[in-house]
Amino acid sequence: MRREPAKERSIPKLVGADFELGNFILGVERSGGSGPEAARLLLAEIEGIPARNPAFRGRQAWLRGPYAFDPQDSGRKFLASNGGCAYIDLDHLELCIPEVTSAFDHAAASAAMLRIARGAQARANARLPDGQKLQVLINNSDGRSNSYGSHLNFLVSRAAHDDILERRPHHLHLLATHQLSSLVYSGQGKVGAENGRPEVGYQLSQRADFFEALLGPQTTYRRPIVNSRDETHCGSSDVLARLHVIFFDQTLCPGAGVLKVGAMQLVLAMLEAEDVPAKVAIDDPVAAAVAWSHDPTLRAAVRLVDGGSATAIEVQQRILEAALRHRDTHGFETVPRADEILSLWADTLEKLAARDLDALAGRLDWVLKLRILERALAQRPDLDWRAPELRYLDQLYASLDPEEGLFWPHLERGLVEPWVDDGAISRFEHEPPDDTRAWTRAMLLRRLEPREIERVDWDHLWIEAPETLQRFEVRLDDPLGFTREQTASLFGSAASERSMHENP
């Protein structure tokens, strides 16, 4: 069978994200909890176009979309403001950023979606009766052995995707090893253990306790470190593929967000080029997730396939060294601002290796949260890591409410490293990225009347003109196409000016 040359396999590492929020209503008692009600109230306050227009119900036999309806998802809305979307997933509000090409834009777009959710939270709370308050948490674990996802999605070549998941086990193991060892900078931090794991006072990751397999398509049970779900959102492309990544925590520090996404982009570029440092494979990946996450001293070593052992930092250093060699020999043309990501990666690992955590408190969530909790313990000698008060503060760190969340005062006081500026975040609240198909999606949603849109998905819009009953299918198969440069002229000067200067 003929294989594509490596150069033909190089695809810009476009990235998307979908993350669930913890939501409930204080002052409301329900037999199944208040999560479903809270999620509905939040989604109702987010302005968007329904993915399926109920006005067309019963008249959609002509639609032949590639995706089956998933009953655990409901109420999906696409946002004309920025091309992203919001919906309810298993009683959690879930936010999806518009597709972006850089790790820095990912961090900005994620923060923008949180601002949109914060506005919805404020409006929903204004409607609630006295004694009730809707709470939103930007985390991945409720402390009762329930975990909810923070997923990333990367555009890769179909050949590289199949190598990772179907053909080349050393490709799979490099990806798994990188994800696992990246806990040292990608974790949000958590008090205690869950899912039957050994007791621990504090650990690096919210999600690590919940991984029970190396590979699989499932996301809500027996969670795999590497997810094999194959939904391209690129039409029926046999060239492009979407790698669905469910391993990471949701982070609030911009530096952690840039690094977890940017380093993944670099590793995927290496895999596409078939430049794979195979000697860093972990012997037991599931056990490594727990061992490394449960050790905030960063000294835990796990067995490697070659018979040696290494800490997470040592494994990351080996992968970074391979990435630096790749830059010097091949370059990273498909990863925007690759040199900045490499510098951030190297500096972070150097400080972690020196155990200089104070220097990383403004960059990494697990370190910032640890310092906050350690101060609480110092002020209350009667408390230890098993105290309910510590678990409460753990949850409060990630509260979306700026008056309650423990993260936000550190951000406001300049104690968090500003890897993305406020202007970039504000722009993604109101505008789509210029360099992906999200721009055209947003412009179509703005230009069309809601009653004209029969259905919208990431790569399709189905439109019916009510007056003539003419039906159209708009295909947005290329995530890197339909950019502002390519399609702005189709919408006329008024649409372009509105996109540049006005909030929708």
DSSP assignment letter at 164: I
| Spatial separation of the C-alpha atoms in residues 495 and 133, rounded to whole Å | 39
Q: At 301, which helix (H) or strand (E)?
A: strand 301-303
Q: Which amino acid is at 418?
A: P
The pLDDT value recorded for residue 493 is 54
Beta bridge partners of 475: 460
Per-residue pLDDT tens digits for 171-214: 999 999 999 999 999 999 999 999 999 999 999 999 999 999 99
| Cβ atoms 280, 170 nearer than 8 A | no
The pLDDT value recorded for residue 68 is 40
| Spatial separation of the C-alpha atoms in residues 374 and 394, rounded to whole Å | 11
457 is catalytic: no
Neighbours of 414 (CB within 10 A): 9
The pLDDT value recorded for residue 500 is 36
Closest CA to 14 of 199, 192, 153: 153
| Cβ atoms 297, 168 nearer than 8 A | no
Q: Which of 18, 73, 89, 339 is catalytic?
A: 89
Helix, coil or strand: residue 372: helix
The pLDDT value recorded for residue 5 is 43
| Model confidence, pTM | 0.93
Per-residue pLDDT tens digits for 132-156: 999 999 999 988 889 999 999 999 9
Q: Which amino acid is at 359?
A: A
| Cβ atoms 152, 245 nearer than 8 A | yes
| Cβ atoms 480, 334 nearer than 8 A | no
| Spatial separation of the C-alpha atoms in residues 459 and 478, rounded to whole Å | 8
Please say whether the dihedral angle defined by the alpha carbons of residues 350, 353, 358 and 363, taken in this order, is positive or negative: positive
Counting beta carbons within 10 angstroms of the beta carbon of residue 413, is it exposed (0 to 12), middle (13 to 18) or buried (19 or more)?
Answer: exposed
| Residue ranges covered by each domain of the chain | 1-17+148-397, 22-137+400-504
| Spatial separation of the C-alpha atoms in residues 224 and 211, rounded to whole Å | 6
pLDDT band at 279, cuts 50/70/90? Answer: confident
Q: Which residues contact 80 (CB under 8 A, 6 or more apart)?
A: 47, 48, 49, 442, 445, 446, 504
Neighbours of 60 (CB within 10 A): 14
| Spatial separation of the C-alpha atoms in residues 208 and 212, rounded to whole Å | 9
Angle separating helix axes 169-181 and 285-293, nearest 10 degrees? 10
The pLDDT value recorded for residue 61 is 41
Q: Which residues contact 157 (CB under 8 A, 6 or more apart)?
A: 4, 8, 9, 10, 11, 239, 240, 241, 272
Q: Where are the alpha helices (DSSP H) in 234-360?
A: 254-272, 285-293, 312-329, 338-353
- Token reading at 169: 């086990």
Mean pLDDT of 248-275: 97
| Spatial separation of the C-alpha atoms in residues 303 and 406, rounded to whole Å | 37
| Cβ atoms 184, 367 nearer than 8 A | no
Q: At 134, which helix (H) or strand (E)?
A: strand 133-137
Per-residue pLDDT tens digits for 15-32: 999 999 999 999 999 888
Cα torsion through 202, 398, 365, 425, rounded to 10: 170
Counting beta carbons within 10 angstroms of the beta carbon of residue 452, is it exposed (0 to 12), middle (13 to 18) or buried (19 or more)?
Answer: middle
pLDDT band at 69, cuts 50/70/90? Answer: very low
Q: Which has more pLDDT, 5 or 350? A: 350
Mean pLDDT of 39-66: 76
